[in-house]
Amino acid sequence: MKRFLTFLLAGLMMVLPALSLAQETDFPRKEIQLIVPFSAGGATDLMARQMQPLFKSLLDVTLVVEDVEGGGSVTGVTQALTSKPDGYTVGLVTSSYIALDAQGQVPIPLSDVTLISSLSEDPLCVVVKHPKAGGKYANAEEFLADAKARPGEVILAQAGNNNANQACVAVLGEVAGIEFNNIPYDGASRVVTEIIGGHIEAGCMKPADCLSQLQAEEVMIVGTFTRERVDILPDVPTFSELGYDVFKYGDIAMITFIAAPKGVDEAVQAKLSDMFHTVLSSQEWQDIAKERAFVSAPVGGEVLTTYVNSVYNSLKVIAEKVFE
């Protein structure tokens, strides 16, 4: 996750020009709609809704969140990116859409949109039922040993398919010599429910997807797809530590950012970027990020474009190698 933070310093150099442009417009004059391309109640939806009171208290701006699920995030993102390019409708975009874009499966490629601000980066992890709740695995080694002993039987699921989560599952299976039974579900909350119910063995997701269940010791994280251990999970090993080269095709990152339709006026773009920068840089938001186990270092402009392109390039290579 430290890779994400390297973009912050460069991004800060862009703040003053953005502020100058932002002063040239009286935008916004009404509420701003943020379309979340996933179901209500999920980690992404909750993150978006936690921004609402901060937009009001810090900017006196009403942020309206609308959940439009479907198509692995394509339905909601497409609705946002085909809206009127006036800045009053923006969309929340994740690595799920980037992965589909890399496979040529989206109607609007990211090269044809307006990038406003980065929002977050989350580690991806393997989650199993906690032993205290009746789970049978004490660590990653036990989970992987069981999966290796029962090829094609042990389920490692995720929300959606042909995305960053599934890329992690596929690469782990390849480098560990394991044939997982990989099942896509509509939403991470369903995956968590199936794990707790004992219907599946494991899921690949973000810590934020199962935070309350982690705290209740209903599930636990046994391994992370990160190069270094995650600060909030100091006792959880990375799969690299365990001897599995999960980065053989490049980094797999779960990022989230704000995008708008192509054609938004530059002054409005700058004002939007400045607004998100103000909210996401606030201590209140940084406390939320720490509590919910993600990194949030807002950048925009060319820095954000470069960052999104780097994730796109990695997922394109991985998609060509591991997706059927």
Q: What is the pLDDT of residues 252-294, one digit of tens each?
A: 878 999 999 999 999 999 999 999 999 999 999 999 998 888 8
Q: How far apart are CA 286 and CA 278, in angstroms?
A: 11
Residue 160 is predicted with a pLDDT of 83
Its pTM stands at 0.79
Kindly indicate the confidence band of residue 240, based on its pLDDT and cuts at 50, 70 and 90.
very high
Among 23-37, 96-110, 124-138, 211-225, the minimum mean pLDDT is found in: 23-37
Q: What share of the chain is helix, strand, coil (3-state, %, to 5)?
A: 45, 20, 35
Written as six digits, the tokens of 264 are: 């938004």
Mean pLDDT confidence for 104-109: 94
Looking at per-residue pLDDT, the higher value among 320 and 135 belongs to 135
Cβ-Cβ contacts under 8 Å for 145 (sequence gap 6 or more)? none
Q: Write down all domains in the chain, each with its CATH number in brackets.
A: 2-122+254-322 (3.40.190.150), 125-224 (3.40.190.10)
**DSSP letter for each residue of 138-192:** SSHHHHHHHHHHSTTTSBEEEESSSSHHHHHHHHHHHHHT---B--EESSHHHHH
Q: What is the 3-state secondary structure (H, E, C) of 94-146?
A: EHHHHHHHHCCCCCCCHHHCEEEEEEEEECCEEEEECHHHCCCCCCHHHHHHH
Judge whether 229 and 220 are in contact, CB under 8 Å. Answer: no
Residue 320 is predicted with a pLDDT of 86
Looking at per-residue pLDDT, the higher value among 322 and 90 belongs to 90
